[in-house]
Homo-oligomer: A and B are copies of this chain.
Amino acid sequence: MAENYHLRCVNCQKEYEKDDVQYTCPDCGNRLGTLEVVYDFKEKKWIDEAHTGIWRFLPILPVRETDIDEHLKIGDTPLYRSETLAGELGLSSLLIKDDGKNPTASFKDRASAVAVAKAHELGYSDIYAASTGNAASSLSGVCAGTGVKAHIFVPQNAPEAKVVQQLIYGAEVFSIQGNYDQAFDLSLKKGEEKGWYCRNSAVNPYLLEGKKTCALEMAWQTGLKLPDYIFVSVGDGTVYSSFIKGFSDLKQIGVIEKIPTVIGVQAAGCAAIKQAFDNGRPFKPDDIVNGDSEADSIAVGKPRDVIKACQYAFETGGFFMTVSDQAIGQAVIELARKTGVFAEPAGAASYAGIKKAIQERRIEKNKTAAIIITGNGLKDIKTPVKYLSETPQKIHPD
């Protein structure tokens, strides 16, 4: 474990000792002042081969070895290379990171594992999360069997499969008769009141560290030959930031020279981060969008991690773009048929994004790229069916 870290506010840059502040910057408050974990990197070690999955990167995670729980295998998800799609898109190569193969079938397990390790370290027996669905299913599954109880706040329109996961795993589930943004606000209130540990990514600085393991894993899987572009869907903004954080850490250690361009793909109806980024500096998080999207995981009107996402994008040449719900629905089907990877809508948004970016010449041809599949297609089977032209042919057995 890295003992050698402190916290820094992404807004005012003030630094804090890790024992002095638990969640956000006291000066800047909840929406502005998310903290990032800063290491001194005196040791250049980033891999510990004694572990697999996300814990392979324990040397640059803010977690003690004694607090990790390896009862589920998180990370080590496939990184596929699709020559078919690369050819069609005019890229020299296209990688597909299938993070839907995590234990609860989403990327979010990476963060939940760190949250539960932190709960152990700090002596919490209860932990809560507001979520469009995946973070909650993930927390529920990762808590199962650990003795830490998960309390979940999801909007009423969360896909059935995600809510079933939460209940089956034994979490306490509050179905908020409103949207994700309301579920988030309510979770903070109730969580604080009850004294539960917080697994909301924009609030708890350690979750980004769990999420950054996807970037680290891609570096490890490619032998540090990272793609030029990485496309990932964006809701609250933390998943987007986590890629840049992972690569930045590796750059600081000195194992890579260049941080890939990370492109954040938002649903057209929920593009608050793109809006904030395009409005320019100083980035402001208060452009609330009252839209919606069928891609439930990124249907976020009031994103919680705007500043960090915009700042990181600005510093590294990244940018944000939007795709329509129809493009996302069609991307689910096309990706599945061409590669065998069945993604949930938000997962396939990255594929819809790269197609649009190439069409609009927002990225260069003959480069290398990767798309991140943040959740498995079985998480939401209702949405893509709307975009299918085929139905089963009913046949009488005689």
Residues of A at the B interface (CB closer than 8 Å) are: 71-73, 78, 80, 82, 84, 101, 103-105, 141-142, 144-145, 154, 156, 160-161, 163-170, 172-178, 182-183, 185-186, 332-333, 336-342, 376-379, 381, 384-385, 388, 390-397
Bound Cα distance from A395 to B340, whole angstroms = 39
User: Closest CB-CB distance, A302 to chain B, in whole Å?
Assistant: 13
Is B339 within 8 A of A393, CB to CB?
no
Is B144 within 8 A of A393, CB to CB?
no
Kindly list chain B residues whose C-beta atoms are within 8 Å of the C-beta of A168. 332-333, 336-337, 342, 377, 384, 388
Is A145 within 8 A of B72, CB to CB?
no
Is B392 within 8 A of A163, CB to CB?
yes
Is B145 within 8 A of A84, CB to CB?
yes
Cross-interface CB contact of A182 among B145, B173, B336, B397, cutoff 8 Å: B397
Q: Can you add 9 more A-B contacts, CB < 8 Å, to A172-B393, A175-B392?
A: A71-B82, A71-B339, A145-B337, A163-B392, A167-B385, A167-B390, A177-B395, A186-B395, A378-B379
User: Closest CB-CB distance, A267 to chain B, in whole Å?
Assistant: 20
User: Closest CB-CB distance, A179 to chain B, in whole Å?
Assistant: 8
Cross-interface CB contact of A170 among B160, B176, B336, cutoff 8 Å: B336
User: Closest CB-CB distance, A152 to chain B, in whole Å?
Assistant: 8
User: Closest CB-CB distance, A146 to chain B, in whole Å?
Assistant: 8
Bound Cα distance from A332 to B169, whole angstroms = 10
